[in-house]
Amino acid sequence: MSIFLTKDSKVIVQGMTGSEGTKHTTRMLASGTNIVGGVTPGKGGQSVQFPAFDGQDTAISVFGSVAEAVKETGADVSVVFVPPKFTKGAVFEAIDAGVALVVVITEGVPVHDTAEFFAHAQASGTTRIIGPNCPGIITPGESNVGIIPASIAGAGRIGLVSKSGTLTYQMMYELRDFGFSTAIGIGGDPIIGTTHIDALRAFQDDPDTDAIVMIGEIGGDAEERAAAFIKENVTKPVVGYVAGFTAPEGKTMGHAGAIVSGSSGTAAAKQEALEAVGVKVGKTPSETANLMRAIMQDLSK
């Protein structure tokens, strides 16, 4: 089993005919993702040929709107590869077409735009957003939506949720001997759709996830809120890592949400909150992976 994304998910790519959309559609197809169409306004009726992975090239139809693509293909997932100034409109279009999962890869989306499309998704009651500024989601061996390299790790029984794309990749690589049920990069912007808590809840309910790795970073209080949720709702082992112990106060560090003011949002405060509810927190990504490795070895006895 998995969370949010399965082999039966029907995926459309908004911005498929752009350079990034084309490149990553090729990679997603290579990892087995069921891509049923692309969306580029003004290019409806065209098709794009992608390299052969099963003996013959794959032709993917391009639609002029998400509504048309959903009507023709039954798509229930969209991945967004469009420039920041067009992202809000693209996400609104996907929500209005009833797409259940929208993965927004785009970096540099204005915060007020994210706030608007996230509020619109919540009001719809039907659409989950992952991102923006994220690497996406992968259920190894089944489907890969976004830019996560599918070859890093195979299927297994660890759930991973991370604010950082590169740390998502590193953790998957370090724990490749055990594999993952689903790995999600939720993004590090000040406002995001799917949160640590959303993923923790889903992994807790997933019978094929035995343990969870949660990667956070400085800034905000998401990790502290996740710790409170774990205390009340999560019975599976959780291992954590918080990036940013050496970040200077008051300086944004890469992610727009990774900024510390005074004692609020520090890595030390987040570590303390997580350890207080029984989460083992590694000092480095490798130490975190080793903590999870020991848990998985104990569970297999």
- 255 is a catalytic site residue: yes
Task: Convert 33-73 into a string of H (helix), E (strand) and C (coil).
Answer: CCEEEEECCCCCCCEEEECCCCCCCEEEEEECCHHHHHHHH
**Separation between Cα atoms, residue 288 and residue 280, nearest integer Å:** 8
Reduced to 3 states, what is the DSSP secondary structure of residue 26?
A: helix
Q: Are 291 and 241 in contact (CB under 8 A)?
A: no
Can you say how many angstroms the Cα of residue 224 is from the centroid of all Cα atoms in its chain? 20
Range 281-285 contact pairs with CB under 8 angstroms and sequence separation of 24 or more:
281/239, 281/240, 281/241, 281/242, 282/239, 282/240, 282/241, 283/245, 284/241, 285/167, 285/170, 285/171, 285/174, 285/215, 285/241
CA 266 to chain centre: 23
CA 105-106-111 angle, to 5 degrees, is 115
Which of 24, 112, 196, 255 is labelled catalytic?
255
CB-based contacts of 91, cutoff 8 Å, min separation 6: 80, 102, 104, 117, 120, 121, 129
C-alpha span between 25 and 105 (Å, rounded) = 13
**Biggest CA-to-CA distance, the chain:** 58
Q: How many helices (H) and strands (E) does the chain have?
A: 9, 14
**What positions carry a catalytic annotation?**
255
